């Protein structure tokens, strides 16, 4: 039977997926034959939403940018008459996994382990999860393996934490397993605070059971009876689907007392965070779950000895847990076949910024930045020139285009001065000013500093003030040296990862784009034409038609000219608000 599946993760829903789902429901209700209508999570091609799949036993056809009218055509032509609607078919995947269609390149280079069910099953149906081998990992771990075997398997897989630091997961579990304690906890970090990152949200919205299953296996390995998922309240759909999944898993006997008759008890609660970035740091996260203000604490003692409520605790990221059932079921020997020697497996990246195909992509570790930006991402939008990628969010750094052959793994990325981070990848083109980029991230980290350490609290403020001056055209000759010195001091003297990494965006942009800093400071120019105080607004007489719109919209009357004649801007009056650029329909206003 043909099945119609609508992509209904947050980005699909915001692009109108609910309307499309309702349209199909309406069409199907008036039809005598029975067809199957279902929903799924993030398919990955967020740039083509709303997405609809028509699934048959022999093929899957992905339709993009579906409107209610296109939905009607899909139903009439594809469902009833068996003809694919070619204009809207983004990809066709046949039974052997061969992919064709105009957007095929987006999927071809990917290897889906974490996202194995995302965009494939209905995240609100435990039956669909089970049909996709779901909970077989728990069955195997609880009924056929002892805790040492489980930890051994995870160690052998080489899995490293996907929350940013890449700590070996099996080793971390062995610490918690070896700690004495009457009560132990398993925590899942779903705080995902990096601007531009949406990997964890997509996994939770698209395949919540995989994370729950990973947590149950971990609990068994370390001897925990209670688990928490710390998820930011800004992710209401992820929370809703997690709640549905936890309830369904309880009803089926995967959570609760005597799971699958193994004698092992484990339950999971959801704790909603209020969106403070620092609460993603695990000790601050524990404080927040405990009902205290989310502030990091000194380590040691480490969470494996004294974590949540000072009890032995294992905390992992969403993506880390989602890998676990796959490894237990398929074996570490299969997992080590993917990735590089020191960074095994795959990594999910959220491609954002100036790339043509923005979305979610999972690739083997060791795939190059170039592959991600050009082969998967389709290159730069609007004919722009690739300048750099910003990886790792506010803790990360910028990697310039001439290092685009760098493989993405836990060794190669830090060698550039950036960090792997949790998978946010913002692609920048030549219209991006790197000093402004550093200022943007410093603004974020300065705002989010919890204030406990002097170097982070005051140091980030000094960095931010200096960057603001530079982008305002008030930079001084020794500013770069000061930024470097203070940046290093903040890194060395901060208690938690927020302060230890906050200077990274500044330090990497100085390392690779020193000339842009010098141009701002010495020549009072912004080479990218992005910092408004350092550019003049001008009108191209060849393009201006004298329509007068810019003059009417200028708040300070800086534009003069008679109707149907060339207009001119007086830059001594102009306050650089940019309204003339947006109001000119002829592209005559430019910055120089
Ligand atoms: C300021 C700050 C924010 C963080 N935010 C997150 C986050 O949102 N998600 C996450 O998994 N880890 C985050 N981390 C890292 C966690 O402290 C921790 O290392 C991670 O959850 C461990 O899981 P893993 O071993 O599976 O990577 C953050 C760290 C810092 C310093
Ligand atoms: S480094 Fe910054 S965020 Fe971390 S504990 Fe210190 S002040 Fe707070
Ligand atoms: S809006 Fe554009 S075309 Fe019209 S007067 Fe201004 S610059 Fe000329
Ligand atoms: S940038 Fe703003 S102030 Fe300057 S000329 Fe244009 S509209 Fe007027
Ligand atoms: S959320 Fe819809 S494809 Fe990513």
Tokens representing residue 215 in the block:
């947590």
Cα distance between residue 148 and residue 174, in whole Å: 8
Instruction: State the distance from the centre of ligand 4 to the C-alpha of 534, rounded, in angstroms.
Output: 14
Q: Which ligand is nearest to the CA of 295?
A: 2
Q: Mean pLDDT per 10-residue run, the chain (592 residues)?
A: 93 95 92 86 94 94 97 95 94 92 94 96 98 98 97 98 95 97 96 91 97 98 98 97 98 98 97 95 98 95 97 98 98 97 97 96 97 97 94 90 96 90 92 95 96 96 98 96 98 96 95 97 93 92 96 96 96 92 95 87
Q: Would you state the pLDDT for residue 111?
A: 96
Residue whose CA is closest, atom 6 of ligand 4?
580
Residue whose CA is closest, atom 1 of ligand 3?
584
Asked if the bond preceding 50 is cis, omega within 30° of 0, the reply is: yes
For a ligand 2 pocket test, name from 276, 457, 463, 497 the mutation site with the most ligand atoms within 8 angstroms of its C-beta: 457
Tokens 């993030």 identify what position?
42
Instruction: State the distance from the centre of ligand 3 to the C-alpha of 542, rounded, in angstroms.
Output: 11
CB of 502 closer than 6 angstroms to any ligand 2 atom: no
Coil, strand or helix: which one is 388?
strand
Q: Would you state the pLDDT for residue 421?
A: 86
CB atoms under 10 Å from CB of 202, counted, come to: 30
Give the N- to C-terminal CA distance of the chain in Å, as an integer: 60
Instruction: State the distance from the centre of ligand 3 to the C-alpha of 534, rounded, in angstroms.
Output: 22
CB of 150 closer than 6 angstroms to any ligand 2 atom: no
CA torsion through residues 191, 194, 199, 201, sign: positive
Instruction: State the distance from the centre of ligand 2 to the C-alpha of 251, rounded, in angstroms.
Output: 42
pTM to 2 decimal places: 0.94
Tokens 């790197």 identify what position?
434
Q: How many residues does the chain have?
A: 592
Q: Among residues 305, 367, 355, 363, which one has the least CA distance to residue 114?
A: 363
Q: Would you state the pLDDT for residue 34?
A: 75
Burial of residue 525 (number of CB atoms within 10 Å: 0-12, 13-18, 19+):
middle
């Amino acid at each position: 039977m043909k099945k119609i599946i609508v992509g209904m993760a947050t980005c699909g829903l915001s692009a109108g997926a609910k309307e499309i789902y309702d349209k199909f429901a309406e069409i199907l209700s008036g039809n005598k034959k029975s067809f199957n209508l279902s929903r799924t999570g993030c398919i990955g091609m967020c740039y083509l939403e709303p997405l609809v799949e028509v699934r048959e036993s022999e093929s899957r056809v992905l339709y993009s940018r579906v409107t209610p009218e296109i939905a009607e055509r899909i139903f009439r032509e594809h469902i009833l008459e068996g003809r694919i609607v070619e204009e809207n078919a983004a990809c066709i995947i046949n039974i052997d996994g061969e992919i064709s269609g105009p957007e095929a390149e987006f999927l071809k280079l990917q290897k889906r382990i974490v996202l194995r069910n995302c965009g494939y099953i209905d995240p609100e149906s435990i039956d669909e999860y089970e049909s996709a081998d779901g909970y077989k990992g728990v069955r195997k771990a609880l009924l056929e393996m002892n805790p040492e075997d489980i930890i051994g398997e995870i160690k052998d897989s080489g899995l490293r934490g996907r929350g940013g630091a890449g700590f070996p997961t099996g080793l971390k579990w062995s610490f918690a397993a070896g700690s004495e304690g009457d009560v132990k906890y398993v925590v899942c970090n779903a705080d995902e605070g990096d601007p531009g990152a949406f990997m964890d949200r997509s996994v939770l919205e698209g395949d919540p059971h995989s994370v729950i299953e990973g947590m149950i296996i971990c609990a068994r390995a370390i001897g925990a009876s209670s688990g928490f998922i710390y998820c930011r309240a800004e992710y209401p759909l992820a929370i809703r689907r997690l709640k549905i999944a936890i309830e369904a898993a309880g009803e089926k006997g995967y959570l609760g007392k005597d799971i699958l008759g193994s004698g092992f008890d484990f339950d999971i609660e959801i704790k909603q965070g209020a969106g403070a970035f620092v609460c993603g740091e695990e000790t601050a996260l524990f404080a927040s779950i405990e009902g205290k203000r989310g502030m990091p604490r000194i380590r040691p003692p480490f969470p494996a000895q004294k974590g949540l409520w000072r009890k032995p605790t294992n905390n992992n990221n969403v993506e880390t847990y989602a890998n676990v059932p796959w490894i237990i079921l398929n074996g570490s020997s299969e997992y080590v076949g993917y990735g590089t020697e020191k960074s095994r497996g795959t990594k999910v990246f959220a491609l954002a910024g100036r790339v043509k195909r923005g979305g979610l992509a999972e690739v083997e570790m060791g795939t190059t930045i170039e592959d991600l930006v050009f082969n998967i991402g389709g290159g730069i939008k609007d004919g722009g020139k690739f300048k750099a990628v910003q990886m790792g969010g506010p803790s990360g750094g910028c990697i310039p285009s001439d290092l685009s052959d760098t493989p993405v793994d836990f060794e190669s990325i830090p060698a550039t001065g950036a960090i792997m981070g949790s998978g946010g990848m913002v692609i920048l083109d030549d219209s991006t000013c790197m000093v402004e980029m550093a200022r943007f991230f410093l603004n974020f980290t300065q705002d989010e500093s919890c204030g406990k350490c002097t170097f982070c609290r005051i140091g980030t403020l000094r960095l931010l003030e200096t960057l603001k001056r530079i982008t305002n055209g008030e930079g001084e000759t020794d500013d770069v040296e000061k930024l470097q010195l203070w940046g290093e001091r903040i890194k060395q003297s901060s208690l938690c990862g927020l302060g230890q990494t906050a200077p990274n965006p500044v330090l990497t942009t100085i390392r690779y784009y020193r000339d842009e800093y010098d141009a701002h400071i010495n020549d009072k120019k912004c080479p990218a034409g992005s910092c408004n105080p350092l550019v003049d607004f001008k009108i191209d007489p060849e393009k201006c038609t004298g329509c007068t719109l810019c003059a009417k919209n200028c708040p300070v009357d800086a534009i003069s000219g008679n109707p149907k004649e060339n207009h001119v801007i007086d830059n001594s009056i102009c306050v650089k608000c940019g309204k003339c650029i947006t109001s000119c329909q002829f592209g005559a206003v430019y910055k120089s």
